[in-house]
Amino acid sequence: MDHFLYRDGALCAEDVAVAEIAAAVDTPFYLYSTATLLRHYRLFDEALAGMPHLVCYAMKANSNQAILRTLAEAGAGMDVVSGGEYARAKAAGVPGERIVFSGVGKTKAEIRAVLEGGIRQFNVESEPEMQAISEVASSMGVIAPVTIRVNPDVDAKTHAKIATGKSENKFGIPIARARQVYAEAAALPGLKVVGIDVHIGSQLTQLEPFEAAYKKVADLTQALRADGHEITRLDLGGGLGIPYARSNEAPPLPTDYGALIKRTVGHLGCEVEIEPGRLIAGNAGILVSRVIYVKSGEGRDFLILDAAMNDLIRPAMYDAHHDIVPVIEPAAAVEHQPYDVVGPVCESGDTFAKARQMPPVAAGDLLAFRSAGAYGAVMASEYNTRPMIPEVLVHGDQFAVIRARPTFDEIINRDTIPAWL
Ligand code: LLP
C-alpha cells in the first residue's frame, strides 16, 4: 500500500495534489511519500519482532539525505556499499554501530575511513578483501567486526542482471569453502568474526529461494560453531520484490518473509539483520513528467515526455515495467488506447513503454510513473546535458524540495579548461 491516491479526481501524494507540486517545481521530478517510507520500514521491523534484529536499509535504492534521515529517526540501520554511501549515512545522523558495509571492492582507503568513523560490521566478500581489512585494522590498532558473505548457489528466479546468489556471480565466497575461509579469518590479526552474510538477489517475487538460502546459512551456522567460531549475527541481505504492475499478482509480504526468517534461522539465537532497499523506497516514490508532444507515427502514437532514460533507466536497462498513470484521474468509462511512451534522448532505447494501454493523453498532460522511489534518482545521469531532476518529499500536507535541479551554469562549471586551451 502506498500514499499516492486519487482524491476528487486529482492524484495526491499524501495530502498534497501532485499538480500543485508540479506547478511549484516544474517537471520532471521525483516525488516521495514519508508515510509510505515509514510504513514499509515498520512492516519489516514488526515482521522480525520477538527476535533481536536490525533493519539495515540498503541505501543504494535511494540515498537522498532526507530519505535517510527519515528512516534513521525511525530506528533504521543502513547497508552501505561505498565510502560515499558511508559518508552520506553518517551525514544523515546514522551512528556507525547501525551501519553495515557490503560490496565486492572495498578499497583500503574506504576500510580506513569506515574504521575511523565506526562500523557495525564489514560484510567480507573475498579472501583478499579479508586480508586488506586485517592489514588496515592492525595498522590502526583496532579490531574490525566481520561477517563473511557466502554464495549459496541458489537461483533467485529474478532478472539475470540483479541475481547475485549463483556460483557464476561475483558475490561472496562459495558456501562449500566457507569453513576453510572462516578458519583463515580466525587466524588473521585485527579481525573479529561475528557472523554470516548472504544476499541472493533483488526483486524476488517468491519466498522459496530465500528459504533455500537461509536453510543453508542455518546449517553453516551449526557447522561453524562446531568448528569453534562464535556466530552471533546473521545478515540475511535484502531482495524482497514489489508489485510493479497493479495488474500482477503481488509478491509475498514482509510478514511472510519475517515468518520465514523465524522458521529457518530463529532457533539459532542469533541477532538478525536484513537489508531491504526496494521494498522500503520503491512504492514510496513516483516520477512526474509532462507530455511535450503526442506524435502520430506509422501504426502507433508516441507520447514524447520531458522525462527520459537518463532520469529513469530501469525500463531501458532491465526491460522493467512501471505503471504510468495520468495525474488527473480519467473517467472510469473512457476507452484506453495503445501508446509508445518515450523520452527526448537521442536513442531508441529511450523508451519507457511500448503499446501501453492508456486513457487518451494530450500534450501538456501530467503523467506519473509509479514504483519509482527505488533505483530511480540514484541511477540517473546528466546524459544529453539534461540536468538531474529535483527530488521532493511530502509529509502530510507539506512538501519540500530535497534536491534542487541544478542550473545549466552549475553543470557547465563543474568542468575545468586546462591551461593550454
Ligand atoms: N544488500 C545487498 C548486498 C545488495 O546488493 C542489494 C541490492 C540489497 C541489499 C538491496 O536489495 P533490494 O532489497 O533493494 O532488492 N538497480 C537494480 C537493483 C540492483 C540491486 C543491487 N543490490 C534495479 O533497478 O532493479
- ipTM, 2 dp: 0.99
Final residue of a structural domain among 214, 247, 274: 274
**pLDDT higher than 80, residue 249:** no
Phi/psi at 402 (5° precision): -105, -5
In this structure, the answer to whether residues 303 and 397 fall within a common structural domain is: yes
In this structure, the answer to whether residues 269 and 301 fall within a common structural domain is: no
In this structure, the answer to whether residues 189 and 246 fall within a common structural domain is: yes
Atom 9 of ligand 1, nearest CA residue: 238
Ligand 1 cavity residues, CB under 6 Å = 58, 61, 79, 102, 162, 199, 202-203, 237-239, 275-279, 314, 318, 375
Final residue of a structural domain among 274, 302, 324: 274
Q: Could you tell me the residue range of the domain that residue 327 belongs to?
A: 4-31+283-412
Look at residue 38 and tell me if it is in a domain. no
Residue 87 Cα to ligand 1 middle (Å): 19
Look at residue 85 and tell me if it is in a domain. no
Q: How confident is the model at residue 170 (pLDDT cuts 50, 70, 90)?
A: confident
Q: What is the pTM of this model?
A: 0.97
CA–CA–CA angle 275, 93, 235 (5° rounding): 20
In this structure, the answer to whether residues 326 and 292 fall within a common structural domain is: yes
List, as residue ranges, the binding site for substrate: 278, 314, 318, 347, 375
Final residue of a structural domain among 245, 274, 303: 274
Look at residue 82 and tell me if it is in a domain. no
Look at residue 316 and tell me if it is in a domain. yes
Look at residue 68 and tell me if it is in a domain. no
Tally the domains of the chain: 2
> Cα 26 from chain centroid?
26
In this structure, the answer to whether residues 196 and 217 fall within a common structural domain is: yes
Cβ contacts of 157 within 8 Å, gap of 6 or more: 204, 205, 206, 208, 209
Look at residue 343 and tell me if it is in a domain. yes
Rg (CA), the chain: 23
pLDDT digits (tens, 9 = 90+) for 282-291: 999 999 999 9
The pLDDT of residue 298? 86
- SS3 call for 192: strand
Phi/psi at 4 (5° precision): -110, 95
Greater confidence (162 vs 411) lies with 411
In this structure, the answer to whether residues 249 and 362 fall within a common structural domain is: no
In this structure, the answer to whether residues 240 and 324 fall within a common structural domain is: no
User: Please, what is the average pLDDT of the chain?
Assistant: 97
> What span, in angstroms and rounded, lies between the C-alpha atoms of 95 and 105?
23
The pLDDT of residue 37? 98
In this structure, the answer to whether residues 267 and 315 fall within a common structural domain is: no
Q: How confident is the model at residue 324 (pLDDT cuts 50, 70, 90)?
A: very high
In this structure, the answer to whether residues 295 and 255 fall within a common structural domain is: no
> What span, in angstroms and rounded, lies between the C-alpha atoms of 86 and 79?
9
Q: Could you identify the atom of ligand 1 that is nearest to the CA of residue 314?
A: 24
Residue 232 Cα to ligand 1 middle (Å): 25
CATH number of the structural domain spanning residue 330:
2.40.37.10
As given in the structure block, the three cell numbers for residue 210 are 530465500
Residue 237 Cα to ligand 1 middle (Å): 9
In this structure, the answer to whether residues 319 and 300 fall within a common structural domain is: yes
In this structure, the answer to whether residues 380 and 331 fall within a common structural domain is: yes
Q: Do residues 372 and 355 lie in contact, with contact meaning Cβ atoms separated by under 8 Å?
A: no
Mutate to test the pocket of ligand 1, among 62, 106, 278 (most ligand atoms within 8 A of CB): 278
Look at residue 308 and tell me if it is in a domain. yes
Residue 103 Cα to ligand 1 middle (Å): 11
**pLDDT higher than 80, residue 1:** no
Look at residue 62 and tell me if it is in a domain. no
In this structure, the answer to whether residues 191 and 316 fall within a common structural domain is: no
Q: How confident is the model at residue 311 (pLDDT cuts 50, 70, 90)?
A: very high
